């Protein structure tokens, strides 16, 4: 699983120039940019890397530095994203079922804004032997970040539980509020849940009980006959 950086489906945008001058100038001006990589550090907001037409490749710019319309409204960073990165181990893919789907995103004030799905950023914890997982990347509280191209010209990254999707060929009654869904706090696993049973194919346990007939057929000379031995026996 990639650590810190991951390629993304590249997209064109404008970067707000104040993010090129440490917020000392450039306010209201823009530079065209090709955004091509995401950077994820635990407990930091998602950051992006972009290539500029003057030959500069600029890394670790926040999501609210980028717009696709120059008249896009400016929001605080916590409107563009709902959670920081859950881990530095990052995965990026495009959910085919959601490709180009429209959605309504609900911010922490309850305000709704519409956008079009781009791709998804997700988190795990790869190096369990060397590093302690101190966050929620593999916990029931885990959240992914769906990347959206918003109608107002901005880019947002929102989790499933703040997103209401559109699909006019599939959805008949879209949500207008929470119908009572709760976050599932369970871990799901099947191993070590069969305390009164043992597996059938373990080469240790099969010595302790009667073997299946096809693997434990003996002739009068006490010669084991299985599928291979039976073939040779018939040829004698």
pLDDT tens digits along 43-102:
889 999 999 999 999 999 999 999 999 999 999 999 999 888 878 888 899 999 999 999
- The CB density around residue 123, as the number of other CB atoms within 10 Å, is 23
Instruction: Give the range among 71-80, 156-165, 170-179 with minimum mean pLDDT.
Output: 170-179
Average pLDDT of the chain, as a whole number: 82
pLDDT at 227 over 50: no
Higher pLDDT among residues 190 and 55, named by residue: 55
pLDDT at residue number 197: 61
Percentage with pLDDT > 70 across the chain: 75
- Which is higher by pLDDT, 200 or 142? 142
Q: What is the mean pLDDT of residues 127-155?
A: 78
Token pair in block for residue 13? 């945008």
Q: Is the pLDDT of residue 124 over 90?
A: no
Residue 37 pLDDT greater than 80, yes or no:
yes
pLDDT at 49: 97
Pick 189 or 105 by higher pLDDT. Answer: 105
Q: Locate 29 and state its tokens.
A: 């001006």
Calculate the CA 205 to chain-centre distance: 40
Nearest CA-CA partner of 1 in 82, 89, 78, 65: 89
Per DSSP (E only), the strands in the chain are 5-16, 30-39, 47-51, 57-62, 66-67, 89-93, 102-106, 112-124, 145-150, 155-158, 163-165, 217-218, 224-225
Task: Write down the domain spans for the chain.
Answer: 5-165, 205-235
**Residue 215 pLDDT grade (very low, low, confident, very high; cuts 50, 70, 90):** very low
d(CA 189, CA 187): 7
To the question of pTM greater than 0.85 for the whole model, the response is no
Confidence bin at 154 (pLDDT 50/70/90): very high
> What pLDDT does residue 129 have?
57
Cα-Cα end-to-end distance for the chain: 57
């Amino acid at each position: 699983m990639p650590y810190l950086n991951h390629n993304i489906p590249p997209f064109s945008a404008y970067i707000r120039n104040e993010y090129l001058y440490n917020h000392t100038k450039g306010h209201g001006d823009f530079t065209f940019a090709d955004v091509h990589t995401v950077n994820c550090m635990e407990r930091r907001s998602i950051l992006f890397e972009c290539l500029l037409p003057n030959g500069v490749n600029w890394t670790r710019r926040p999501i609210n530095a980028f717009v696709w319309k120059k008249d896009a409204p400016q929001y605080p960073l916590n409107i563009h994203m709902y959670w920081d990165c859950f881990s530095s181990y990052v995965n990026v893919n495009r959910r085919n079922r959601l490709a180009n789907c429209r959605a309504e995103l609900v911010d922490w004030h309850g305000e709704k804004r519409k956008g079009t799905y781009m791709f998804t950023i997700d988190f795990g914890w790869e190096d369990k032997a060397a590093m302690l997982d101190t966050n929620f990347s593999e916990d029931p509280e885990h959240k992914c970040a769906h990347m959206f191209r918003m109608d107002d010209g901005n880019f947002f990254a929102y989790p499933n539980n703040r997103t209401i999707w559109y699909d006019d060929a599939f959805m008949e009654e879209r949500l207008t509020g929470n119908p009572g869904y709760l976050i599932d706090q369970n871990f799901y696993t099947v191993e070590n849940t069969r305390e009164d049973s043992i597996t059938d194919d373990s080469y240790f346990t099969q010595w302790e009980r009667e073997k299946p007939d096809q693997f434990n057929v003996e002739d009068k000379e006490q010669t084991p006959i299985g599928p291979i031995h039976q073939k040779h026996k018939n040829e004698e």
